[in-house]
Amino acid sequence: MSRADAVAILPAAGKGTRLGEAKQFLELGGVPLLVRAVERAAACSEIAAIVIAAPPGEEERVRDLLAAHGADAKLHAVVAGGAERADSVKAALRAAPAGLPMVAIHDAARPFATPELFTRVLEAARRTGAAVAALPCTDTVKRLEGSGVTTVDRRSLWLAQTPQCFRIEQLLRAYERAGNDVSVATDEAALIEALGEPVELVPGEKENFKVTDADDLRRARGMVEAPAAVGFGFDVHAFEEGRRCVLGGVEFPGETGLAGHSDADAALHAIMDAILGAAGLGDIGQHFPDTDARFRGADSGVLLQEVAARAKAAGFRVQNVDLTIAAARPRIGPRREEMRAKIASILGIPEARVNVKATTTEGLGFVGRSEGIAAQAVALLAR
C-alpha cells in the first residue's frame, strides 16, 4: 500500500550557462521544464509535498508559473537556492514540512520521469536508506590518460539519474559530515557513499534524460510537440480608386488598388494569417492593428517577413505555402511566376515551395462582379 511520506525537492536555481538562459524556464509545448518536472513528481501518490529551490529573486515567478499551469497542488514552499546544488538542496530541506521521513531529490531539467520511477526509488530507499535511479552503461567506455587510451569494463558502470531518494535524517548526517567539501560531490548519493553507507541502484528510464544543451532541448521538444503544423489564412479587400494594386508582393500598374490600412495586399495577408495560425500566434489584426498609425500604407512584404521571424522565434520555420487568389481582375496568370519568386524571397525558402493559383469564380459573387479580391492560403510549418 502506498504512503505519502516523502517530500520532493527540486533544485532549480541554475543559471543555464550551457543553454544561454535558465533552462528550467524553457518551454516544451508551452509548458516550462520546471513545471513538467513538478507535475511528474506530484503525480506520485507517495509524494506529500514539494519544495523548490529557485534562483534568488525568482521565487514569486516560480509560484506564479506553477499556479498558472495548475501544478501547485502539492507545493509547500519555494526558497532561494544557492550558488551550488548542495546549497539549494540544504535550503529546501530546511523548508520541508516536519514529520516526513523521506526525501526525493529530482532535477528540474528532467521533465520525463514517470511517477512509477519515483515510487520504485522511494521503496528502495525505505529499505536501505538511500537509492538512486540509474541506467547501466551500454556503450564501450574509454579512459584517456595522457596520450594513451584504455578500455574500461563497463559491466559495473551505471549512469546516475534522478530521483535520488533518502531517509532525511541520513542525508542530513551526510551533509554535516561533508562540511565545506559538500560542493565536491556531484550528487547527493556521493555524500551517502562518503559515509560508508549503502546506496541501492534502481533501474531508471531512458526517457528520463536531463536537458543540458541545445541538442537535448530539441530532443525534448520533439517528444511533446508535433513535428509540423498547418495553418489556413483568408483575406478579402474591396477595390478602391486611387490606390496602388499590389498582390503577392507584385505591383500591377494601371489596375485599381484595394482598400485597406496597409497596402492591402490580400494575397500576402492570407499567407500571414496562415503562418500565424500554424504557429498558434493569433492573426495579423493582433500583430498589426489597423488602429496603429505605424502600419498605415505599410509594405505587406515587410510585414510578412516580420511574421516569419515571429514564427521562427516560436520554434517554427516555413516549409511551403499554397496560395489561391480569387479575382476577376487583374489577370494573375501572366504574373504568377513573378509572385512565386517574390513570396519565396520574402520567406527565405526555395521557389519550388511556393504555389500560386488563381480563379475568377465564373462571374459569381462579389469577386465575379469585380467588387474586390479574395485570397486563401495554406502554410506548412516545421519545428
- Closest to 75 in 3D by CA, of 50, 106, 45: 50
Residues in binding site for a divalent metal cation: 235, 237, 269
Phi-psi label, residue 137: left if phi above 0, alpha if psi -120 to 50, beta otherwise: beta
Burial code of 125-159, b = ≥16 C-beta within 10 A, e = fewer?
bbebbbbbbbbeeeeeeeeeeeeeeeeeeeeeeee
CA–CA distance, 308 with 285 (Å, rounded to integer):
16
β strands within 63-185, DSSP E:
75-80, 102-105, 130-136, 141-145, 148-152, 158-167
CA–CA distance, 84 with 103 (Å, rounded to integer):
19
Question: Angle of helix 300-313 relative to helix 266-279, nearest 10 degrees?
Answer: 10
Residue 11: count of CB within 10 angstroms of its CB: 28
CA–CA distance, 158 with 160 (Å, rounded to integer):
6
Phi, psi of 318 (to 5 degrees): -75, 125
Q: Taking a C-beta distance cutoff of 8 angstroms, is the pair 362, 327 a contact?
A: no
Helices (H) and strands (E) counted in the chain, each on its own, are: 12, 18
Residue 360: exposure state from Cβ atoms within 10 A (0-12, 13-18, ≥19): middle
Residues in binding site: 235-237, 261-262, 269, 283-285, 288-292, 359-362, 366, 369
- Closest to 373 in 3D by CA, of 330, 340, 315: 330
